[in-house]
Structure 1
């Protein structure tokens, strides 16, 4: 078991207090991180503020060079990062390594895009203002608070950290408790990359003790948060004076409108529903289709689900334990509620502590919790509706609005339906997913606010500064 220390102003902090992080599969301590106190948090933000002006004045080319060195350090240590990730969130070793490599590619794209954040120049002649030239440049907002979730502790951390730093901001980074080992390891690797003191700070500890202290600090200029709806809403309420980008939950529907390519539809749906045991905000969380189509689709879904392996992340199984027992109990409650209300459990419904076999639930009705609540686990409900307009209505009646999928070979109909679905993104003939990382990524309603993606993150972490030349 390794101890990982918080990082503040270029120094590792050991205050004698530790927070243990459990291995969800082995149910033993995977490692521990520094449990910071209020005074430590204040020190982190003041360090970030003190370093920000000098960092922003550093030439863009030099900032890019430093972050490219950081990228190289991350890639060199990819196997260690993946191993630590697997130990604390039960993501398979194969998928953990994929996340690391994918993130390195994201960093490359971000650094290239930063070079193209060129000033906007314009004249006032269109408004009758002659002899004026305006030059409007993107400048840093200041101190960014980046908060990452447990399910993608590397990718969704660096997707915030790198855009912030390359544009001249400084960062205070708070990983989720499960994910803190990876988060603190990122801090260690930043020291290997010779980051200047104060530009990147990693704060760890018990959320119930320091959560509000972190999100309400007066030094914050912007918060970029990925996590639960409840915490996101709390940040909105208490940090409302800050610029916010929030990525929260989802109840992503898959609408199957024809039976012309059901083998492909079934594969896409199962991949989308059960990847990383369904612990993805963009996971397909309900299938909505007609009785006629469902009768043909369900056997294909079962065939694909039965091919999924269940067990240890260290053996690269497809379905691994959900993050903790509380999550498993919540998921079981959704299944039990559906079963009590006469839904049909077609496959799965097997629980061993927090390991849940992939579960397919048919004949789900709108009075069942699983029709509306986000399980964040490997269960998939099927809702049978005969009318397309009613399918759209059910999709839109959710308090979430992240993504959706429409499966239909009639592209005209698919586009018409997609335009009526109230989500950030609709995928036609493909599973819902975050990537590719260069695409804008957003949710509406309880799924969040603001836009992420490479260029969009660079924009959100900067503001215009204008100079008008009169001649």
Structure 2
């Protein structure tokens, strides 16, 4: 299978000759050959997006945008098994988790369809100010223009749609630059939107390297906004390159979870196994740090280890598989080195710690020091550290001792303590009696500190992809 960029609704058959292989992370088999776009094609896509915005989207009424999105959601519903299989093959995500991603993706498009018809403004009481009598003031939201959407491999459909669907709902056009590891689902998604009736040029797919996007898309004067999900390293480069344009970035994390002595231990264990090892830990809010109160530490660790060792590891296309490969062997080798480094520094590997090709077995690490890499940096891998604590203040201090602040989980039956701790945690979001990994698509999602800028979640993404415009009238 050969896939290409799609600009103005046309697949780009002319090539500079550079291609990239897309391989199944589990088997190593070739999934597709991707024809890479160069700077000239990126420039063409941007110019085309500007024209589509000025000639099409600016005049398209909200009900038409809503109908297109609704048709896209229905088409994705009809093709959900095809998309789930592609995500499983190109990303290595177990098929049951891939299906769950598709269902969330359908929901994101439907949310966007609904909210496209509710971009309300307000009428201001101008006479509240001196000299304001006999005047009327109105505030409305207007689309920004071309949105540059740079998306990751770990949720190749859902995280792409968290950028694309709100952008369309708000009346913008989109340059869609997906991760090099997972371009097939992006190619299928772009074709699906065209099938749903999205006019040519509104969604331009550019299959390029990060270097091309960084040199052409990010600093381009005709692209007023970049929305990016990915690593802290790349995020810093984008922030430095973007200049004065608006930027939304969801970056790294090493998400903490606190288990107090009165928590439902069995429930916490079940949720935190999924939180640490779902999709091999390649989730932005994957549980990497678990702090457990001393009174229940031994019980929790014993049950946690038992539950982890029951995960079924294997082929992502197997219906029973809980846990599959990492995205590639380089990622697997990197985290194996981290584990060995922690072991050499005195940590205990309670289970896992081994690698077979792209599979890193689910790994629980104890007896860690807070300065160890497995505690302080983002692993983005199937490893988790479990650490005891004595007091509530100690748990809060340890949790906040991080450059990251995306999302956390707190397990306790004491509602007063739950709210008290949640208020003190330096996080973009806190879940009570739920793991840090849980995310719905209709609340503001994003981090503080070095975990990012701005918020996603359909309503909040639309707000970040529009500008407030004031219109005043002297009566």
With the length of structure 2 as denominator, give the TM-score of the two structures: 0.96
Residue in structure 1 matched with residue 244 of structure 2 by the alignment: 241
Is residue 202 of structure 2 the alignment partner of residue 199 of structure 1? Answer: yes
Deviation beyond 4 Å, 4+ runs, structure 1:
none
2-side partners of 1:206 and 1:457: how far apart? 25
Residue in structure 2 matched with residue 8 of structure 1 by the alignment: 7
Written as runs of structure 1 = structure 2, the 5 A alignment for 1:211-230 is 211-230=214-233
For the residue of structure 2 that corresponds to 1:63, the secondary structure is helix
Residue in structure 2 matched with residue 63 of structure 1 by the alignment: 65
Quote how far apart the aligned CAs of 1:210 are.
Answer: 4.4
Written as runs of structure 1 = structure 2, the 5 A alignment for 1:337-348 is 337-348=341-352
Unmatched runs of 5 consecutive residues or more in structure 2: none
Unmatched runs of 5 consecutive residues or more in structure 1: none
For the residue of structure 2 that corresponds to 1:144, the secondary structure is strand
Change in 2 beyond 3 A, CA 1:290/1:242: same
The one of 93, 101, 104 equivalent to 2:103 is 101
Residue in structure 2 matched with residue 32 of structure 1 by the alignment: 33
Quote how far apart the aligned CAs of 1:165 are.
Answer: 1.0
1-side partners of 2:323 and 2:250: how far apart? 24
Q: Is the 8 A contact 2:72 2:109 kept in 1?
A: no
Written as runs of structure 1 = structure 2, the 5 A alignment for 1:149-164 is 149-164=152-167
Written as runs of structure 1 = structure 2, the 5 A alignment for 1:231-380 is 231-316=234-319, 317-380=321-384
Residues 114-173 of structure 1: per-residue CA shift (max 9 Å, x gap): 212122112212223111111111110111001111000100111111111121111100
Aligned residues between the structures: 470
2-side partners of 1:136 and 1:425: how far apart? 29
Residues 309-342 of structure 1: per-residue CA shift (max 9 Å, x gap): 1111011411110111111112112211221122
Quote how far apart the aligned CAs of 1:347 are.
Answer: 1.2
Q: Is the 8 A contact 2:121 2:141 kept in 1?
A: yes
Q: Is the 8 A contact 1:6 1:187 kept in 2?
A: no
2-side partners of 1:193 and 1:260: how far apart? 48
Is residue 460 of structure 2 the alignment partner of residue 459 of structure 1? Answer: no
The one of 147, 165, 168 equivalent to 2:168 is 165
For the residue of structure 2 that corresponds to 1:146, the secondary structure is strand
Residue in structure 2 matched with residue 48 of structure 1 by the alignment: 49
Quote how far apart the aligned CAs of 1:260 are.
Answer: 4.1
Is residue 192 of structure 2 the alignment partner of residue 189 of structure 1? Answer: yes
With the length of structure 1 as denominator, give the TM-score of the two structures: 0.97
2-side partners of 1:81 and 1:220: how far apart? 30
2-side partners of 1:152 and 1:173: how far apart? 15
Supply the RMSD in Å over aligned alpha carbons. Answer: 1.4
Residues 102-122 of structure 1: per-residue CA shift (max 9 Å, x gap): 111121122112212122112
For the residue of structure 1 that corresponds to 2:160, the secondary structure is helix
